[in-house]
Structure 1
Amino acid sequence: MKTTFYLAAIHLLASSVCGLPLQDSQIPGYLDAPAGRAWVEKRQSSSWNPPANLVKPLNEVWEHQMATYSDPMGFKNYGFDQVIAGRGQINYCVRWDSNQKVTAAQREQIAAAVTRSFNKWIAGLAGFDGFPYNTVEVNVVGYAVRDRSLLEGDTSGLDIYTTTDEGGIPQCDPRCGRFFHQDGDYSQCPGGASRHYDESLWLTDGFQGGAGGDWGQRMGQEYFMQNVDSENIHIYLHELGHTFGLDG
């Protein structure tokens, strides 16, 4: 059953963003992801039926995934694993890898963009083969910054981190990160399990292209903020595809 679900989910998720290319340096700016409700209505089934022109490339992506990784079916931290484990809720922490200040209003825009974009992928799974969620509650629970003064305005409700990774880059506390604690043990997280984060949104000054995986997504801070109110933030949507298990 799990094998069937993963196969359906990866193929389905690929089609749900119209076959976004998987080479991160060649992401075009003209692709549109579907609106949620229309796709939910189409997915009350358990058979994979993508557009004919996507069958071959999607099969190539699937074959690459199976051949490249040692245990692709046994891996338990794909995006949909995280959704199931969180019972329909995903927590994000933003790695603000920037010297720019970020206002409270901008943080609200970021939170809205994350919710909107993540749920475009969920719309592709909703109703398919018993997938239990039509939408997912997405919460931004924290920010990692070089200095707290970069966060303007009210920060209540956010965990603020000034911890860094081995390269000195702002990093949300590993003690609270699902990537570091896939066993679900957040006993060392200062805020407890309810304040853990499943994924990081890593926004870096001057970063070109993007990166994504079960840990979250990375892209340029300038690009993301310039497009934060866009219906489709193309690089972000693409990198979310990697989080959901698509590779090419």
Structure 2
Amino acid sequence: MFVRRISVALLAAAAALTVGAGPAAAAPDQTPAPPTTRAWNPPSNLVQPLDEVWRHVESTYGNLYGFRNYGWDQVMANRGYINYCVRWDSSAPVTAALRDHIHAALSHQYAKWMNVMLENGQGWENWPYQTVPIRVVGWAVRDRSTLQWTDNSVDIYVNDINENAPQCARECGRFFNQNGDYSRCPGGASRHYDQSLWLTAGMGGGAGGDWGQRMGSEYFVNNLNSENIHIFLHEVGHTFGLDDFYDWTPTGVCCFLMKAGTASQITEFDAWMFRDWWRHLKSRYGL
């Protein structure tokens, strides 16, 4: 069941930056994809396994169609972008340069999933956005001195502890305010955050859901220059509803990102599962 679950992926193998410019930062403008869209036409060898996956989802997710906080819902509510809070669950210092590098890697990796929804500039199944910018609007820490910068590019939250880790203000989080009311958020709606990048010192593996993604701070920082930060990519898959495959494998496929430990990047099968989620949910947005 996806609803607010934490899906843990203990991987067997080591497995357009847009940053808020101050408290009044505006949401980025979006350019809709061209009106000609790509119709549903998966490769013939993937038709059966895709059908098996969706039938499995329908039989195991308790509130599959009623749940309204998938990553899809967040993108559509924002009209084409995602805001992030970084939960720095570590005592390691963060310079302005490291902060910006983390933001850039986050944006680059997230774009890998969003790019799955386009082919030659055309959106699959009426997907309306050519890009989905990522804006980091806040950092949360236990001790302000951990963050070694003085500019106001992001809001900073100090010693607001939840689940034994620092968090950005609950009043600004979509997870806590799914009605879209951010009137109590200090920076207003433009400074709300949809997901958290929760980086925890010493953590192995990862977790993901509608609230965001969690993994080791050392792992993420050590992979900032990697082409695929694959634990993060796996956990973003969960944010958009994709399941784990610990105890079964769809017919005719063997190795893909959402089957932990068998792939280190988004595969063709992952991409088609992702598009299939959109195909089944797009009607809720009138598309």
Please indicate the TM-score interval, normalised by the length of the shorter structure: 0.7 to 0.9
Match of 1:245 among 229, 237, 241: 241
Alpha-carbon distance in structure 1 between the residues aligned to 2:44 and 2:77: 31
**TM-score, normalization by structure 2:** 0.70
In structure 2, the partner of 1:19 is none
Q: Give unpaired runs (5+ residues) of structure 1.
A: 1-21, 31-39
In structure 1, the partner of 2:152 is 156
Alpha-carbon distance in structure 2 between the residues aligned to 1:154 and 1:68: 48
Query: Secondary structure in 2 aligned to 1:189?
Result: coil
> Does the C-alpha gap of structure 1 residues 223 and 177 become closer, same or farther in structure 2, counting only changes over 3 Å?
same
State which structure, 1 or 2, has the greater radius of gyration over its C-alpha atoms: 2
> Would you say 1:124 and 2:109 are equivalent positions?
no
Letter in 2 for 1:87: R
> Would you say 1:89 and 2:85 are equivalent positions?
no
Letter in 1 for 2:106: V
Alpha-carbon shift at residue 93 of structure 1 (Å): 0.3
Whether the 8 Å CA contact 1:64–1:247 is kept in 2: the answer is no
Alpha-carbon shift at residue 218 of structure 1 (Å): 0.2
Alpha-carbon distance in structure 1 between the residues aligned to 2:13 and 2:43: 21
Amino-acid identity (%): 56
Alpha-carbon shift at residue 50 of structure 1 (Å): 4.7
Please give the root-mean-square deviation of Cα atoms over the aligned residues, in Å: 2.2
Q: Give unpaired runs (5+ residues) of structure 2.
A: 1-6, 16-32, 245-287
Alpha-carbon shift at residue 169 of structure 1 (Å): 1.3
Match of 1:26 among 4, 8, 11: 11
Alpha-carbon shift at residue 216 of structure 1 (Å): 0.2
Matches within 5 A, 1:90-239: 90-126=82-118, 127-239=123-235
Letter in 2 for 1:247: D
**TM-score, normalization by structure 1:** 0.80
Whether the 8 Å CA contact 2:137–2:155 is kept in 1: the answer is yes
Whether the 8 Å CA contact 1:78–1:244 is kept in 2: the answer is yes
Alpha-carbon shift at residue 153 of structure 1 (Å): 2.1
- Cα deviation per residue 1:189-211 (whole Å; 9 max; x = unaligned)? 11111110000000000001000
Alpha-carbon shift at residue 170 of structure 1 (Å): 0.6
Query: Secondary structure in 2 aligned to 1:26?
Result: coil
Whether the 8 Å CA contact 1:163–1:172 is kept in 2: the answer is no
Whether the 8 Å CA contact 2:11–2:231 is kept in 1: the answer is no
By percentage of residues, which structure has more helix?
1
Alpha-carbon distance in structure 1 between the residues aligned to 2:196 and 2:235: 12
- Cα deviation per residue 1:103-146 (whole Å; 9 max; x = unaligned)? 10111111111111111111111310111112111111100001
Tell me the number of residue pairs that the alignment of Structure 1 and Structure 2 aligns. 216
Alpha-carbon shift at residue 60 of structure 1 (Å): 4.0
Alpha-carbon distance in structure 2 between the residues aligned to 1:167 and 1:29: 26
Query: Secondary structure in 2 aligned to 1:63?
Result: helix
